[in-house]
Amino acid sequence: MRPVRVLNGTASPAPPPHPHHHLLRHLLSSAPRECAITASTETAAVELRGITKRFPGVVANHDIDITVRRSSVHALVGENGAGKSTLMKILYGMQKPDEGTITIDGEQVSFSSPGDAIARGIGMVHQHFMLADNLTVLENVVLGGEKLYGIGSRARKKILEISKAYGLGVNPDALVEHLGVADRQRVEILKVLYRGARTLILDEPTAVLVPQEVDALFTNLRELKAEGLAVIFISHKLGEVLSVADDITVIRRGTTVGTAIPSETTPRALAELMVGSELPVPETTESTVTDRVVLDVKGLTLGAEGRKPLLDHLTFAIRAGEVLGIAGVEGNGQTELIETLIGMKHADSGTITLDGEDVTAWPTRKRREQGVGYIPEDRHRHGLLLEAPLWENRILGHVTEAPNSKGFWLDPKGAKADTERIVEEYDVRTPGIEVTAASLSGGNQQKLIVGREMSHTPRFLIAAHPTRGVDVGAQAQIWDAIRQARHEGLAVLLISADLDELIGLSDTLRVIFDGRLVADADPATITPQELGSAMTGAASGHLEHPEDSPPGNIADQNSAQTGGEDR
Amino acid sequence: MTQQTPKELKRELLKERVILATAAPVLALAVAVALTSVILLATGKNPFEPYSLMVNYVAEWPDVQVLVINQTVTYYFAALAVAIGFRMNLFNIGVEGQYRLGACIGGIVGFNLPAPGVLKMIAVIVTAMVVGALWAGIAALLKVTRGVSEVIATIMLNAIAAAIIGYLIQRDVFGHQPEGSNAINTGELPESAWFPGIPYGDYEIYGFLVIAVLCGVGYWVMLNRTRFGFDLRAAGASESAALASGVSGRKMVVIAMLASGALAGLIGMPVLLGESHTFMSDFPAGYGFTGIAIALLGRNHPLGMAFGALLWAFLDKASTTLDDNGYESEISVIMQGIIVLAVVIAYESVQRWGLKRQQQKVGAELAAAAKKNEEVAL
């Protein structure tokens, strides 16, 4: 054993007997924070010691200590803004640390550009892919690395070799524009391996993937690990981290607050380590569902030319004070449902009734004016003007309503005052309302959106992935806001990929599959596992716990799913 | 570290915005001057004298000053027309064709309308604006119904407009040939239909200067103080976000194109109603393209574009003195070219830098505040 490392500078009198077992308790108590790193005989792939990085007026990282073993997947978890990205930028040579050392394979190094890092076998797969759509996989991989294996048959051979060795299943001649997200990600991974990476940094790789693709990615990661590579996996999805990582390092407020081994910890304990406080649970206490139907959707159908409909005769009702949760694997019609309800798309048949009034033909603006709140699934594309100040973002979507305008004229004064109020009430962390939306973290952007939508006292709220990419603290606040509104008689349509959130917040659950609502469930009794299997189309009807649907049905649904994947 | 009050921060953000807004054009101008000097040096000329020659020339001669101001007025309309499209992410290259066709038909209507002078003048202006709007409207219609890029459509429409003008001013159509001249025009307007000028010493500035100022103010108010302007800016900044907030992208495309075309119709008016009093075969051309450069330079901002137009006009008119002093007047054209290139690069980099800087600043503010809270809690 190497001597116990003490973090945050406070000396500990004696190391605990079994460091890992007691780690979390120690960290959560007011006792000096400490943690142990298991000594190993081999040299670590990456060792970061005492990394500190200051930006003018802010310390982004301080006293970071991380040891990444060869042949392991090392997860780096922490809230948004905890300093994970800065740290990875330092490791990838994009920024230089002010203090501390980086050791790669036992040799101390100093990077002044990503080129240096690549030369040392460090590769980075960014969250947003950097591929040229109109080039083939081969062309994308050799681009910028022409000197390695040329651009012809030697490169192709190498690509196939790598693809085979790590089970990536990449076709070098496929056009990138024809590839799905998961395939593109594999191309990105191949790209860094092609350049000789021995240590891979993956920045939130699962954020863009659906559950099945996540499993496939994890299989790839295990292959990489088996071949002796080290993988640094950045994420804030704790369930995933626990399933794939060998070691976990938690970062909070710019410093490493602890390490853990997946087999000895739980998502909850990890999350508590991340936020440093007790975690909220998304459970709603008492039912607030009333008899009054607010939103009534009948036979809603949205066609696709020459293919089967994207939405196929959806019928459901949401009552005042009710949260209807829609579960489903992404791409089964959720986006289309939202867009049809908000009026960005118009249904081919079926009706949408809001408080007894037929709104099917209403344009988006009228729906929003008349009390349809909208928390979009992609806030950057649909909810914000990123380069506009916060108060202009407060106007967005509600330009015709008070306090944003008076008749024909805008009312910047009113909008600004109300933005101040939202910032205060919804705890949007910002130095002011004149800063651009792009400079806020994801959680604070989302709180601004939630505050904006709630400010117009909606009757019906569409909440699509309301806490996606949002840190744990903001998540609790957003849940509170939804619960509060539900209590006041709001009807909510909740769409989420987070099954715990879905089960915890919803009063009623429906499962969408291939454009149809195929099953319903009672959130009080259903488990995420049961819901998950219904999402793949394996079950239909009312999901009774623990009964399963008849086998014949499974076969039917499976064939339907195969058809759906062609899209 | 000192803690800032919100008011201080607000002031600082404002200051920073102004600096960011002016940094790019100033940088571009500096680069353009430097590169032009390098070119002068490379050709064995004095690298600095041309600038002082041009400045002195304009400072000395009131008639040149009038030329510069008049040119500025015309350029300003062109820049506004282009800018309104830019704000909606539309690249209206067709301003050229829109203003020339507008001026031509405006001139024809004004000459042939049996009405008193003032009404003739108003008819000319209204016709030019309507024709400009309709001509741009064709491109808008093609875009929203058939998905044709407005860039392609407006370029094509420029060529068609030139052909139509060529036809209209033929002598057996609407053309007139004044005695003793081989130029063709659409007929001279009576003096009562001229737009009054503003006296400037012994000379006259286009009265359209007033209209230009009004248009600039109106442009700013429309964009920043009306619901419509907000929708337009939102649609230009993020089509998807605008759609989700109930702004019809198609409607905005049509409106922005029509407005752009209508403003384009005004470009020819200062010359037509203040100087030539007719549309002739050698009616000034090319303002539509210059307008693109000035809108870029002025960052679509009404004040920025005013400075841009003034700079362009200065370079245009002052360069004539270079020929008399042993330099090539094309130096100013070189400078204009470099400015356009430098401006595009400078804007992009200054904007990225500014955004990043603000993000860092916000991060710093929040970290400082969090730290303070923590200390208080302990």
Residue B91, number of CB atoms within 10 A of its CB: 14
Contacts of A438 in chain B (CB under 8 A): 355, 359
Give the model's pLDDT for residue B233. Answer: 92
Model pLDDT for residues A55-95, shown as the tens digit of each residue: 644 567 888 899 999 999 999 987 666 778 788 888 998 88
pLDDT surpassing 70 at residue A6: no
Q: Per the CB < 8 Å rule, is B364 touching A412?
A: no
Contacts of A393 in chain B (CB under 8 A): none
Query: Which residue of A lies nearest to B358 if distances are taken between CA atoms?
Result: A439
Describe the strand order of the beta sheet including A491-495 as a list of residue ranges: A372-375, A460-464, A491-495, A323-327, A508-513, A516-521, A541-543
Q: Which two tokens stand for residue A488?
A: 């006041």
Of A310 and B365, which is predicted with more confidence? A310
Give the model's pLDDT for residue B20. Answer: 74
Give the model's pLDDT for residue A205. Answer: 84
Give the model's pLDDT for residue A557. Answer: 38
Split at pLDDT 50, 70, 90, the class of A567 is: very low
Minimal Cβ distance to B359: which of A56, A374, A439: A439
Region B119-124 average pLDDT: 94
Give the model's pLDDT for residue B218. Answer: 96
Cα–Cα distance between A379 and B333 in angstroms, integer? 45
Of B4 and A104, which is predicted with more confidence? A104
Region B222-239 average pLDDT: 92
Residue type, A174: A
Residue type, B307: F
Is B61 an interface residue toward A (CB < 8 Å)? no
Give the model's pLDDT for residue A283. Answer: 61
What is the DSSP secondary structure assignment for residue A6, as one 8-state letter? -
Of A277 and A512, which is predicted with more confidence? A512
Cα–Cα distance between A77 and A274 in angstroms, integer? 7
pLDDT surpassing 70 at residue A480: yes
Q: Worst-scoring range by mean pLDDT, A51-55, A318-322, B182-186, B314-318?
A: A51-55
Give the model's pLDDT for residue A551. Answer: 39
Model pLDDT for residues A247-256, shown as the tens digit of each residue: 999 887 778 8
pLDDT surpassing 60 at residue A115: yes
Give the model's pLDDT for residue A273. Answer: 77
Minimal Cβ distance to A409: which of B1, B225, B365: B225
Contacts of B362 in chain A (CB under 8 A): 430-431, 435, 439-440
Q: Which two tokens stand for residue A529?
A: 């596992």
Cα–Cα distance between B94 and B157 in angstroms, integer? 7
Instruction: Please name the residue ranges forming H helices in A120-210.
Output: 137-142, 146-149, 153-165, 181-194
Region B7-16 average pLDDT: 70
Q: Worst-scoring range by mean pLDDT, A244-253, B50-59, B127-136?
A: A244-253
Q: Which two tokens stand for residue A69?
A: 């073993």
Is B10 an interface residue toward A (CB < 8 Å)? yes
Q: Worst-scoring range by mean pLDDT, A123-132, B127-136, B197-206?
A: A123-132
How far from chain centre, in Å, is Cα B362? 35
Contacts of A398 in chain B (CB under 8 A): 245
Region A533-555 average pLDDT: 59
Contacts of A474 in chain B (CB under 8 A): none
pLDDT surpassing 90 at residue A561: no
Averaged confidence pLDDT in chain A = 80
Mutate which of B4, B16, B87, B227 to test chain A, going by most A C-beta atoms within 10 A? Answer: B227
pLDDT surpassing 80 at residue B112: yes
Model pLDDT for residues A414-441, shown as the tens digit of each residue: 999 999 999 999 888 887 888 888 888 7
Give the model's pLDDT for residue B129. Answer: 97
Q: Per the CB < 8 Å rule, is B231 touching A432?
A: no
Q: Per the CB < 8 Å rule, is A396 touching B241?
A: yes
Give the model's pLDDT for residue A80. Answer: 61
Q: Which two tokens stand for residue A36?
A: 């142990």
Is B370 an interface residue toward A (CB < 8 Å)? yes
Distances (CA, A) of B309 to A344, B34, B57: 41, 21, 19
Q: To the nearest 10°, the Cα dihedral for A330, A331, A333, A337? A: 70
Split at pLDDT 50, 70, 90, the class of A322 is: very high
C-beta contacts of A407-415 below 8 A and 24+ residues apart: A408/B226, A408/B227, A408/B228, A409/B225, A409/B226, A409/B227, A410/B224, A410/B225, A410/B226, A410/B227, A410/B229, A410/B230, A412/B225, A415/A391
- Considering the four listed CATH numbers 3.40.50.300, 1.20.1280.50, 3.90.245.10, 3.10.20.600, the one that applies to the domain covering A280-371+457-567 is 3.40.50.300
The answer to ipTM > 0.90 is no
- Mean pLDDT highest for which of A177-191, A264-278, A321-335, A390-404? A390-404
Is B230 an interface residue toward A (CB < 8 Å)? yes
Q: Which two tokens stand for residue A428?
A: 């949007």
Give the model's pLDDT for residue B142. Answer: 96
* DSSP string computed for A195-207: TT-SEEEEESTTT
Do A309 and A301 form a contact (C-beta atoms < 8 A)?
yes
pLDDT surpassing 90 at residue B291: yes
Helix (H, G, I), strand (E, B) or coil at B357: helix
Q: b/e string for A253-290 if b means 16 or more Cβ within 10 A?
A: bbbbbbbbebeebebebbbbbbbeeebbebebeeebbe
Do A210 and A329 form a contact (C-beta atoms < 8 A)?
yes
Q: Per the CB < 8 Å rule, is A374 touching B244?
A: yes
Domain layout of chain B by residue ranges: 20-60+329-370, 70-224+250-320
What is the DSSP secondary structure assignment for residue A380, as one 8-state letter? I
Model pLDDT for residues A447-477, shown as the tens digit of each residue: 999 999 999 989 999 999 898 767 777 888 8
pLDDT surpassing 90 at residue A270: no
Cα–Cα distance between A292 and A353 in angstroms, integer? 13
Q: Give strand pairing partners of A103.
A: A47, A108
Give the model's pLDDT for residue B148. Answer: 93
Is B218 an interface residue toward A (CB < 8 Å)? no
pLDDT surpassing 50 at residue A14: no
Distance from CA of B370 to the nearest CA of A (A): 10
pLDDT surpassing 70 at residue A558: no
Region B340-349 average pLDDT: 83
Instruction: Please name the residue ranges forming H helices in chain B.
Output: 6-42, 49-60, 62-87, 95-112, 117-146, 150-168, 208-225, 227-237, 239-244, 249-267, 269-271, 287-297, 302-318, 320-324, 330-377
pLDDT surpassing 80 at residue B359: no
Give the model's pLDDT for residue B329. Answer: 86
Q: In degrees, to the nearest 5, what angle opens at C-alpha A125 toward C-alphas A119 and A128? A: 135
Give the model's pLDDT for residue B9. Answer: 63
Of B9 and B289, which is predicted with more confidence? B289
Region A143-153 average pLDDT: 85
Q: Worst-scoring range by mean pLDDT, A30-34, A147-151, A417-421, A509-513?
A: A30-34
Give the model's pLDDT for residue A55. Answer: 62
Q: Worst-scoring range by mean pLDDT, A114-128, A140-154, A283-297?
A: A283-297
pLDDT surpassing 60 at residue A278: no
pLDDT above 90 as % of chain B: 59
Contacts of B9 in chain A (CB under 8 A): 431-432
Do A373 and A453 form a contact (C-beta atoms < 8 A)?
yes
Contacts of A395 in chain B (CB under 8 A): 230
Contacts of B223 in chain A (CB under 8 A): none
Model pLDDT for residues B208-217, shown as the tens digit of each residue: 999 999 999 9
